[in-house]
Amino acid sequence: MRQEEIQKTYQAAKDFFATKQTLTLEFRQESLAALEKAIKRYEKELYGALKQDLNKSEHEAYVTELSLLYDELRLAQKKLKSWARPKRVKPTLAQLPGSVRVQAEPYGVALIMSPWNYPVLLTLNPLLGAIAAGNVCLVKPSAYSPATSSVLARLIHESLPAGLAYVIEGGREENSSLLDLPFDYIFFTGSPGVGRLVMEKASRHLTPVTLELGGRSPVIVDETADIAKTARRLTFGKLTNAGQTCIAPNHVFVQRTVAEELKDNLVENFQHSFPNEAYYRAYYPQIINEKHYQRLLNLLEGQNIVVGGKANAATLQIEPTIVMEPLPDAPLMQEEIFGPILPLVIYDDLVELLDRIRKEPKPLALYYFTSRKDLARRVLSEVSFGGGCINDCLVHIATPYAPFGGVGNSGMGNYHGEASFRAFSHYKTVVHKAWQADVELRYHPFDAKKLKWAKRLLG
């Protein structure tokens, strides 16, 4: 889409917001209900598109994308009235006689930029939060998942009231044109590198942002962990979407005393995840494109591969791969892997390990496998990260009842459930003052008596 068309679309969105239709809860509820019905109506097409773009099976697509969306939509429709209700807070002496309320209002026209790895979930989840809060949206899905982007464009256009949401398809040129516009809010999901560009562009218009970025999410496995279950749960975390998940286990720090046992269990799990070649081709996601496929193969050069590593250029599939003890300065240990490669790094002392992790950029997730509750509390208190699990991985994202987001290099702001409503809302404090009385302390002329009473009453 050309820059002139994007500008016209943006202006149309502003004009629609100015009609004030989105300010009513009835309009928002009807829009959310329409979106839910459309997702159900388009389910088969979405499955087909995800299969085409990422080779996702219907099972994986439902479990990791659509089921989470349905949970979010049901909660938003149930709780919207409560979320939007002005909240009464206690007035201070200076505000008496009167009442104080905090009232949510939509920002206006929001830009939602979504990635390719979970293109349905990570497009529609922010969108439903923006709609619940009363915003009008321009939605920019990823050019790397074109089949899904096309279905989403039709789904949104056909289901939502005209003017409420516009889908802009395209690549970098469209991204650049959109980021030059003075949006009222920007919600971006993607890499830290692009996130910095988004924030820089937003700063020119003082546009607030939510940045959902990535990070080298570490795993710690100590000698008290149930190693068999740890290996199985890590296999789930790494094989989901072929590791192309922002909160995927990036690398594992394993205590020396259980390193061989964990390695052997992981090898067994990796080898038995796919019973035959036909199942592997049908159910194992592909790497999104040739560029990322080659990037991952380059990371494996010179590494000690203990299982996997085979690749198929025709299908863009790379076998689940375990690397033992990569060098700290190897590219594999310097960047987010975002693929089906799991490095194992041996550690001896937890205190030294936590110091090492703290020196890295703050990760989006951290996973600690242990039977020691005291050590779990220590890790949680001493390491800053977006979110995570004790004795599991990925599943902390699977709820609309708790916020999800990064910190530092892994993002800013959060969403899911009420946090999504809050992300797309400005909260304004309003004092409603009564006429019956006044506090004389604030009025001139000031004197020693007024100062004395001010210190006594306000101190």
Residues in the chain: 459
Q: Cβ contacts of residue 95 below 8 Å, gap of 6+?
A: 431, 433
Spatial strand order of the sheet with 87-89 comes to 87-89, 98-106, 425-433
Quick one: which of 36, 43, 195, 199 has its CA closest to 115? Answer: 195
**Separation CA 195–CA 210 (nearest Å):** 10
Catalytic residue flag (residue 169): no
Q: Known catalytic residue: 246?
A: yes
d(CA 387, CA 367): 9
For residues 291 and 62, the answer to whether their CB atoms sit within 8 Å is no
Contacts of 365 (CB under 8 A, 6+ apart): 215, 217, 247, 385, 386, 387, 388, 389, 393, 396
d(CA 125, CA 34): 14
Matching residue, tokens 């067994």: 268
Gap between the Cα atoms of 284 and 160, Å rounded: 34
Q: Which residue among 65, 212, 336, 418 is the active-site one? A: 212
Catalytic residue, candidates 137, 246, 389, 393: 246
**Residue 89 near residue 38, CB atoms below 8 Å:** no
Which amino acid belongs to residue 288?
I
Q: Which residues are catalytic?
A: 212, 246
